[in-house]
Structure 1
Amino acid sequence: MSYLNPSEFVVKMIDAGESKVFMSTRDTVIRAYMAGAILSLSAAFAVTVAVQTGSALVGALLFPVGFCMLYLLGFDLLTGVFTLVPLAWIDKRPGVTLKGVLRNWGLVFAGNLAGALTVALMMAVILTFAFSVDPDQVGQRLGEIGASRTVGYADHGAAGMLTLFLRGVLCNWMVSTGVVAAMISTSVSGKVIGMWMPILVFFYMGFEHSVVNMFLFPSGLMLGGDFSILDYLVWNELPTVVGNLVGGLTFVGLTLYATHARPGTGRARPIRADVGVPAEVGAAR
């Protein structure tokens, strides 16, 4: 069968988290760099499609191609390791420490950021002929996204910060669901279908993904967006990272772990005195 039941794929989740803790620094950074770069290209692709077709839905429908590619190639996003790696520590796998979890998160963050910045610079050069002309429609849209999703939140103060945080939570609820959905199947087609659905939801709904934003906002700054680096960090990236951590770990990692890896004690079934079998079985007869 190409399908794994929950008790099986949750073990895969814990095993994956454990393997990432013990991965070498070199491999962790390389895989994170490539993940950030591929996801950034996918974001640029989706924005281009949305601008040229006038349909945000079409862009969202096509965006998951990058996520599927990087996952199948074994690369790592910060959103994914937020969910998987702590499970190995919670499960008390030998040698897995909180320090090891934080080390992985730090390396993946750095690698994702480097990959995203690389693509941001490349796209800024492409869209302006090496900064010799004004940005085209796609470049202008990238600048608008950066402004609306930084100072746009800041204009609402605390309410804006709460909205930003919750969009980060909801984002990684969906993205980490995509990561887990890929583990449910052992076939490439099954993995792709499983990943595509929740990634489509997050992107079309405008939820905040820390790694996608590592591309969108730096490229927006390069293309003349009306916001600053401080705006980006305070009013997007840092709250989004926290929201992504809470969303992925709470609504995906811990919930699946609690109910499938460490399920509670089942309630005793009532026994029918007349036939000596559980009541529901007797009723079925």
Structure 2
Amino acid sequence: MSYVKPKDLAVRMIDAGAQKTFMATRDTLIRAFMGGAILGLAAAFAVTVTAQTGSALVGAMLFPVGFVLLYLMGFDLLTGVFTLVPLALLDRRRGVTVRSMLRNWGWVFLGNFAGAFTVAVLMAIYFTTGFATPPNEVGVALMEIGHGRTVGYAEYGGAGMLTLFVRAVLCNWMVSTGVAAAFMSDSLAGKAIAMWMPIMLFFYMGFEHSIVNMFLFPIALLMGGNFTVLDYLIWNEIPTVLGNLVGGLTFVGLTIYMTHRRTAPERGLVELPRVPAQTASR
């Protein structure tokens, strides 16, 4: 499995970020739609496995299959472009501006939401037999997630909001590590293995991922979850998006850029004064 050194990794990430700002709106939306849809399916799969086996670890171990597939197919997530696109701006790539960066973020957000929501509707139909029966055990688990990770935070006020934000920061620290990992190898197996590890970690730890939540909370509401759209927006999605931005850009994008692209000058060797041999022997 070929390994890409960190210095070359930084350049690849910058190139990818620049390329995304120049992408046509149609392609940006299609790729973001499919990214959100596949991640939504992976979340449904992981929750199903967890509910049926009683093991959250098994669900977390299998969830990364969706993340790996969507990145191998060249689709996009908001959490990824939060990390990659600013690097092209910092590197002063020609044609990359704050406006083009925000444009990319906006279209990817809309595409991710459309894809995740589409899967939420389809899976809600599946879990309720076309809304003709109460949700099955997986549907009940999804409703509990929606309630616990909105109203559950709201019960603690400011402390709950801080916890939500920190979980979002930690999430995209790991997810963006997975995004960077996709550039660490030129082999299929190398890419998959490198991406799998941080994604499994974030899912098992219960961190907050804005695109996963675009699936989890709409499907919970569609099946009668005990919270509101406003609860979802204020006590999850908006703070999660902001935390994801901070986590991915600060702990992954900027750290790689600053130490592997804009490396500080190396320290010179300090030569110690030579001691005459006779003096040294006394």
Q: Partner of 1:278 in structure 2?
A: none
* CA RMSD, 1 decimal: 1.1
Q: Partner of 1:50 in structure 2?
A: 50
Q: What is the DSSP-based 3-state SS (H/G/I as helix, E as strand, rest coil) of the residue aligned with 1:247? A: helix
Q: How far apart are the structure 1 equivalents of 2:271 and 2:53?
A: 64
Q: Partner of 1:78 in structure 2?
A: 78
Q: Partner of 1:32 in structure 2?
A: 32
Aligned positions, number: 275
Q: How far apart are the structure 2 equivalents of 1:129 and 1:139?
A: 11
2:17 is aligned with 1:17: yes
Q: How far apart are the structure 2 equivalents of 1:73 and 1:269?
A: 48
Q: How far apart are the structure 1 equivalents of 2:268 and 2:182?
A: 35
What are the equivalent positions in structure 2 for 1:185-200 lying under 5 Å apart?
185-200=185-200
Q: Partner of 1:105 in structure 2?
A: 105
Q: How far apart are the structure 2 equivalents of 1:29 and 1:271?
A: 59
* Per-residue deviation, 1:269: 1.1
Q: How far apart are the structure 1 equivalents of 2:169 and 2:222?
A: 28
Q: How far apart are the structure 1 equivalents of 2:153 and 2:166?
A: 12
What is the TM-score when the length of structure 2 is the normalising length? Answer: 0.96
Q: Partner of 2:239 in structure 1?
A: 239
* Per-residue deviation, 1:112: 0.1
* Per-residue deviation, 1:272: 5.4
Q: What is the DSSP-based 3-state SS (H/G/I as helix, E as strand, rest coil) of the residue aligned with 1:34? A: helix
Q: How far apart are the structure 2 equivalents of 1:224 and 1:138?
A: 13
Q: How far apart are the structure 2 equivalents of 1:62 and 1:184?
A: 22
**AA of the residue aligned to 1:104:** N
* Per-residue deviation, 1:182: 1.5
Q: Partner of 1:283 in structure 2?
A: none
Q: Partner of 2:262 in structure 1?
A: 262
Q: List runs of 5+ in structure 2 lacking aligned partners.
A: 275-282
Task: After superposition, give the CA deviation of every residue in 1:60-101 in whole Å (9 maximum; x if it has no partner).
Answer: 000000000000000000000000001101111011100000
**AA of the residue aligned to 2:17:** G
Q: Partner of 2:277 in structure 1?
A: none
Q: What is the DSSP-based 3-state SS (H/G/I as helix, E as strand, rest coil) of the residue aligned with 1:183? A: coil
* Per-residue deviation, 1:223: 1.2
Q: How far apart are the structure 2 equivalents of 1:74 and 1:181?
A: 14
Q: How far apart are the structure 1 equivalents of 2:4 and 2:43?
A: 31
Q: What is the DSSP-based 3-state SS (H/G/I as helix, E as strand, rest coil) of the residue aligned with 2:183? A: helix
Q: Partner of 2:88 in structure 1?
A: 88
2:68 is aligned with 1:68: yes
* Per-residue deviation, 1:15: 0.2
Q: How far apart are the structure 2 equivalents of 1:268 and 1:99?
A: 41
Q: What is the DSSP-based 3-state SS (H/G/I as helix, E as strand, rest coil) of the residue aligned with 1:184? A: coil
* Per-residue deviation, 1:17: 0.2
Q: How far apart are the structure 2 equivalents of 1:273 and 1:62?
A: 61
Q: Partner of 1:127 in structure 2?
A: 127
Q: How far apart are the structure 2 equivalents of 1:156 and 1:69?
A: 37
Identity of aligned residues (%): 67
Q: List runs of 5+ in structure 1 lacking aligned partners.
A: 275-285
Q: Partner of 1:282 in structure 2?
A: none
2:143 is aligned with 1:143: yes
Hey, which bits of structure 1, 4+ residues long, moved more than 4 A?
Answer: none
2:117 is aligned with 1:117: yes
2:222 is aligned with 1:227: no
Q: What is the DSSP-based 3-state SS (H/G/I as helix, E as strand, rest coil) of the residue aligned with 1:135? A: coil
* Per-residue deviation, 1:270: 2.0
Q: How far apart are the structure 2 equivalents of 1:17 and 1:141?
A: 37
* Per-residue deviation, 1:9: 0.7
Q: How far apart are the structure 2 equivalents of 1:259 and 1:20?
A: 23
Q: Partner of 1:279 in structure 2?
A: none
* Per-residue deviation, 1:224: 1.4
* Per-residue deviation, 1:266: 1.2
**AA of the residue aligned to 2:13:** M
**AA of the residue aligned to 2:163:** T
2:248 is aligned with 1:248: yes
